[in-house]
Structure 1
Amino acid sequence: MDPDVREVYRDEHVVAFFPTEPATLGHTLVASREHIPDIWGLDEDLAAYIGRAVVRLAGAVQRAVQPEGLNIIQSNGTAATQTVFHFHVHLVPRWTEDGIGRIWPPETHFTDAQKDDAWERLREQCRRLVSHA
C-alpha cells in the first residue's frame, strides 16, 4: 500500500483507507485484503463479509463528515472505469455543491425490443440461479 494512504480501518478480511486523490473529503475505499481482481472473483462468504463492512464503514463516514448523501461505487472492468484491478468499494460522501455532478446519463435511447431482449436473457440466468441453489 502507498505510504501516503491514510488507513482508517483494518481487520482480517478488509482494509479501508482514504485514496491519495479523494473525490470528496471522507471518500473511503474498502478493499479486500486477499487479492481478487473484481466482483466475479469473490466467493459469496467474502462478499457477504465485505457487504457488512461497507454498511458499518458507511455509518462511520456519515457520523464523521455528516454528508448530505453517499455514493457507493464498485467498478468491474475497463469499460466500467476500473483502473485498479483489485476488488474495492468506494464510499463517496456527497454534498449538493461538491463538484462531482450527476453520475447517470440524463436519458437513454434503448428500444423496447432491446430492453425486452436484455430482460429475457437476465431472467433466464436468474432462473438458473434458483435451480442451482
Structure 2
Amino acid sequence: MSLSGSYDDQNIFAKILRGEAPCVKIFEDDAVIAFMDIFPQSPGHCLVVPKEPARNLLEMTPDASAAAIQRVQNLARAVETALEPDGIVVTQFNGGPAGQTVFHIHFHIIPRWEDVPLGRHGGGQADMDELKAQAGKIAAALD
C-alpha cells in the first residue's frame, strides 16, 4: 500500500494558498503560509502549510521539506515567546490511518500547559477575535 495518491487542488489548504478561502494568517513567504487552526486543540494552535502541492511529507521534495521545517522551528519559537506555554507539540500526519484529514502537507504547532487537557481537534470552532489576537502576538514574536 502506498501513501501516494493524486493531489486534489480543491482541498481547503490549496484554496487558502490561492486566496480563495480565508484564514487568520500569521506569516507567509515563498515557501509556506502559517495561520491559526480554526478548530484548535489548545489556545495558539497554528498550522504551517508548505506551498508545494504535496499530499504529505513523503511526497515533498527535499528542498521544500527543509524549508518547511525551518519555518516550523521559527514559528514554534515565536509561539513559545508569545504565549509562554509549558511545552509545544509539533505534529505532522501522513495518510488517513495516521490521522491526516486534509491531504495537503501541513504541520501542527500546539502549545501545551501543565494540567490543561488537550482538546479534541475539530471539537469546536474558535472565536475569530481570539484567533486574531493570538496570531498578532505570535507574528510580533517572529524573528
TM-score by length of 2: 0.67
CA distance in 1, matches of 2:117, 2:97: 23
CA distance in 1, matches of 2:45, 2:116: 12
Identity within the alignment, %:
36
Structure 2 equivalent of residue 38 of structure 1: 56
Structure 1 equivalent of residue 4 of structure 2: none
CA positional deviation for 1:96: 1.4
**Structure 2 counterpart SS, 1:17:** strand
Number of residues paired by the alignment? 100
CA distance in 1, matches of 2:113, 2:37: 19
Counterpart code for 1:24: S
Structure 1 equivalent of residue 29 of structure 2: 11
CA positional deviation for 1:97: 2.2
CA distance in 2, matches of 1:21, 1:59: 21
Counterpart code for 2:80: Q
Q: If you compute each CA radius of gyration, which structure gives the higher value, 1 or 2?
A: 1
Q: CA RMSD in A?
A: 1.2
Structure 1: 4+ residue segments shifted above 3 A:
none
CA positional deviation for 1:21: 0.9
**Structure 2 counterpart SS, 1:90:** strand
CA distance in 1, matches of 2:92, 2:111: 14
TM-score by length of 1: 0.72
**Structure 2 counterpart SS, 1:86:** coil
Structure 1 equivalent of residue 95 of structure 2: 77
CA distance in 2, matches of 1:37, 1:66: 32
CA positional deviation for 1:35: 1.7
Equivalences for residues 1-133 of structure 1 within 5 A = 1=16, 2-3=21-22, 5-100=23-118
Structure having greater relative contact order (Cα 8 Å, sep ≥ 6): 2
CA distance in 2, matches of 1:64, 1:21: 20
Q: Which runs of 5+ in 2 are unaligned?
A: 1-15, 120-143
**Structure 1 counterpart SS, 2:34:** strand
Q: Which runs of 5+ in 1 are unaligned?
A: 102-133
CA distance in 2, matches of 1:35, 1:25: 28
CA distance in 2, matches of 1:6, 1:65: 17
